[in-house]
Structure 1
Amino acid sequence: MKRHSFKDGEVIFRENDPSDAAYLIMEGKVEIIHGRRSEANTTVAVLGRGEYFGEMGVIDDKPRSATARAKGETACMSVSRDEFMDMLLNRPEESIELLKVLFERLRKANDRLMLMEKSGGTA
């Protein structure tokens, strides 16, 4: 693991970048931004201390699906693909906690999709 410091507004990674590490927020906040469907970016999440981000691409080896940007002074630990996979395979308690976070994110995304469908919007 390697510690990184980011200033307010600094981009940690951009949508479509290669996924080389996951990040754990130690201090501050990170805004997750999605901009694929329009010129305007959409904030999909604001994450805080103790939360992971960037883990999807580390697991499925696909490019970043969103941009991550620091909100305020932020410190993160980067976790390489090998370190992350080692955690998943050899530390079941931590793996289960991560799965809970991922499932909660999926539930929220499903809820947003359902709201859009009910309001006549498109996904």
Structure 2
Amino acid sequence: MSSSPLFEKFGKIIPKGTVLFREGDIGQEMFIIQSGRVKISKTVRNIEKTLSVIGKGEFFGEMAILNDKQRSATAEVVDDSEILVIDRNTFETMIKGNTEIALRIIKKLAQRLQEADNQIENLLIKDNTSRLVNLLAKIAKDKGVDTVM
């Protein structure tokens, strides 16, 4: 269990199966995983689609508090987890007071945007065989396996 001052102030131990928020909820907090994993999913035509399963060091939920919009996905705890829960005011104070945190968030958002761009390109331009090849290459890359294309 975490015993850092940050965890003492903002941390929560959250059991497996807990839904932190649902798609469409109003967002007032963002989350930083200290241990455990969280599944991010979206429902399309009554079918749940897992967008990602994220772990230690990852953050999520920031979009809703950055742009004051509803949650765009659902977040469910996959393993018993230790998670920092940061409200909007604290988040803004942290960003204003620490350029390292701001830069890390900007880099992560840029990475997510690039991944979304790649998915759009893959869906719009390529045939099914090319999509499958790209998906397998992405999975291999995510697992740390070198590929030749």
Q: TM-score, normalised by structure 2?
A: 0.75
**What RMSD, in angstroms, separates the aligned Cα atoms of the two structures?**
1.5
Report the 3-state secondary structure (helix = DSSP H, G, I; strand = E; otherwise coil) of the residue aligned with 1:41.
Answer: strand
Among candidates 53, 57, 77, match of residue 60 of structure 2: 53
SS of structure 1 residue aligned to 2:32 = strand
Matched, 1:44 2:51: yes
Q: Is the 8 A contact 1:34 1:44 kept in 2?
A: yes
Residue 20 of structure 2 is aligned to residue 7 of structure 1: no
Percent identity for Structure 1 against Structure 2? 29
Tell me the amino acid that sits aligned with residue 49 of structure 1.
Answer: K
TM-score (norm 1): 0.90
How does 1:8-27 map onto structure 2 within 5 Å?
Answer: 8-27=16-35
Q: How many residues align?
A: 120
Q: Which has the larger radius of gyration?
A: 2
Supply the distance in 2 between the matched residues of 1:7 and 1:59 (Cα, whole angstroms): 27
- Superposed, 1:83-94 pairs within 5 Å as 83-94=90-101
In 2: Cα distance, 1:15 partner to 1:120 partner: 31
Pick the structure with more strand per residue.
1
Which blocks of at least 5 consecutive residues in structure 1 are unaligned?
A: none
For structure 2, the residue ranges without an aligned partner over 5 or more in a row are: 1-8, 129-149
Q: Distance in 2 between matches of 1:105 and 1:53?
A: 11
- Residue number in structure 2 paired with 1:99: 106
Q: Which moved more, 1:110-119 or 1:24-33?
A: 110-119
Question: Whose RCO is larger (CA < 8 A, sep 6+)?
Answer: 1
Which residue of 75, 81, 90 maps to 2:88? Answer: 81
The structure 1 segments of at least 4 consecutive aligned residues displaced by more than 3 Å after TM superposition are none
Give the 3-state SS of the residue equivalent to 2:46 in structure 1. Answer: coil
Counterpart of 2:23, as a letter, is E
Q: Please state whether the residue corresponding to 2:102 is helix, strand or coil.
A: helix
Could you tell me how far 1:54 is from its partner in structure 2? 0.2
Q: Which amino acid aligns with 1:99?
A: I
Contact 1:20 1:80 (8 Å CA) reproduced: yes
